[in-house]
Chains A and B, each alone.
Chain A
Amino acid sequence: MKKFIYTLLSLLMLVVLGDWAVGSWLRHAFAHTSHDEIGRLNYISDSVTADIVVLGSSRALHHYVPSIITDSTGLTCYNCGFENEGIVFHYALLRQLQQRYRPRLVIYELTYDYDIQFLTWRPASLKHIHAMAGLQCRDSILASVDPWERVSMLSHIYPYNSLAFAIQASQAPTTYDRPEVDNGYIPQFKHMELATDWQFQPQKHNEQVDSLKLGYLTKLIAENAGHLLIVVSPRYLSPEDDIYGQVEELCRMHGVPFVCMVSDPVISRDPSLWEDDGHLNHTGAQAFTRQLVPHIKEILTQNIEK
Chain B
Amino acid sequence: MSYNSLTFILSLPAIVLGYHALPARWRNAALLAVSAALYMLWWPAGIVVMAWVTLTSYVGIGRIVRGRESSRGAMWLTIALTALPLLCFKYLLPLNDAITGWLNIDWWLNRHRWLIPVGLSFYTLQAIALVVDVRSGRIRPASSLISHAAFMSFFPVTASGPIVRGQELLVQLEERKSRFDPDLAWQGVRWLIWGMFMKVVVAESFALFVHAVEQRIDTQNGFTLLLSTLCYTIQLYADFAGYSLMALGTSALLGIKLRHNFWHPLFSVGIRDFWRRWHISLSTWLRDYIYIPLGGSRCTPWRSRLNVMATFVFSGLWHGAGMAYLLWGAMHGLWVVVERLVHFDRWPRHWMVRVPLCLATFVLVAILFMLFSHDVPTTLHIIGRFFGHWDGLRLTVTQSVSTVSREWTMVAALALMLSKEARDEWAPTLLSGRLAQILFYACVVLLTLTFGVFDRGGQFIYMHF
Contacts and interface: CB of A to CB of B under 8 A. Distances in A.
A and B bind: yes
Interface of A: 1, 3-4, 7-8, 10-11, 14-15, 18-19, 22, 26, 36-37, 83-84, 120-122, 124-127, 148, 151-152, 155, 157-158, 160-166, 168-170, 174-175, 198
A126 B182 contact: no
B455 A121 contact: yes
Contacts of B402: 37, 83-84, 124, 166
A7 B455 contact: no
B154 to A, nearest CB: 23
A163 B404 CA distance: 11
**What 3 pairs between A and B have smallest CB-CB spacing?**
A165-B405, A4-B182, A14-B442
Contact of B404 (A122, A125, A161, A169): A169
Given A1-B180, A165-B409, A126 B401 contact: no
Nearest to A16: B442
Nearest to B443: A18
B442 A15 contact: yes
Contacts of B218: 198
Nearest to B445: A15
Interface residues of B, number: 36
B443 A122 contact: no
Contacts, number: 99
Nearest to B404: A169
A161 B182 contact: no
A24 B352 CA distance: 46
A22 B441 CA distance: 16
A293 B402 CA distance: 32
B186 interface: yes
Interface string B396-422: 000011101110110000000000000
B448 to A, nearest CB: 9
A121 B457 contact: yes
Q: For B404, B438, B453, which residue has the most chain A Cβ atoms within 10 angstroms?
A: B438
Given A1-B180, A14-B442, 17 more contacts: A4-B182, A4-B186, A11-B441, A14-B438, A18-B443, A121-B457, A122-B457, A124-B455, A152-B454, A157-B449, A157-B450, A162-B450, A163-B405, A164-B405, A165-B408, A166-B401, A175-B400
Contacts of A127: 455
B456 interface: yes
Contacts of A174: 400-401
B451 A162 contact: yes
Interface in B173-224: 180, 182-183, 185-186, 189, 218
Contacts of B441: 11
A169 B403 CA distance: 11
18 contacts: A7-B186, A7-B434, A11-B438, A11-B442, A11-B445, A18-B442, A22-B446, A22-B450, A127-B455, A151-B10, A157-B446, A158-B449, A162-B453, A165-B404, A165-B406, A169-B404, A175-B400, A198-B218
B6 interface: yes
A124 B456 CA distance: 9
B40 to A, nearest CB: 19
Nearest to A23: B449
Max chain B Cβ within 10 angstroms of own Cβ: one of A11, A120, A124, A158: A11
B98 to A, nearest CB: 26
Contact of B446 (A8, A15, A36, A148): A15
A36 B399 CA distance: 13
Nearest to B201: A162
Contacts of A26: 450
Contacts of B442: 11, 14-15, 18
Contacts of A170: 401
A154 B255 CA distance: 31
Nearest to B457: A121
B429 interface: no
Of the candidates B404, B442, B450, B457, the one having the most CB atoms from chain A within 10 angstroms of its own CB is B450
B409 A162 contact: yes
A130 to B, nearest CB: 10
Interface string B424-460: 0000000000100011011101100111111111000
A158 B141 CA distance: 48
B300 interface: no
B400 A18 contact: no
Interface in B32-59: none
Contacts of A37: 400-402
Interface of B: 5-7, 10, 180, 182-183, 185-186, 189, 218, 400-402, 404-406, 408-409, 434, 438-439, 441-443, 445-446, 449-457
Given A151-B6, A169-B405, A170-B401, A18 B455 contact: no
A151 B9 CA distance: 12
B455 A164 contact: no
Nearest to B184: A4
Max count, chain A CB within 10 A of own CB: residue among B400, B401, B441, B454: B401
Contacts of A160: 450
A164 B412 CA distance: 12
Contacts of B189: 8, 11
Contacts of B186: 4, 7-8
Given A7-B434, A148-B6, A175-B400, A161 B454 contact: yes
A89 to B, nearest CB: 12
Nearest to B437: A7
Interface centre among B180, B442, B445, B451 (most CB of A within 10 A): B442
A29 B36 CA distance: 46
Nearest to A174: B401
A146 B249 CA distance: 26
B438 A7 contact: yes
Nearest to A8: B189
Contacts of B182: 1, 3-4
Contacts of A124: 402, 455
Contacts of B409: 162, 165
Residue of B6, B439, B449, B452 contacting most chain A CB atoms (<10 Å): B449
Contacts of A155: 449
Contacts of A151: 6, 10
Contact of B438 (A10, A157, A158): A10
Contacts of B450: 22, 26, 157, 160-162, 164
Contacts of B455: 121-122, 124-127
A102 B402 CA distance: 30
Contacts of A166: 401-402, 405
Nearest to B454: A161
Contacts of A84: 402
B397 to A, nearest CB: 13
B261 to A, nearest CB: 25
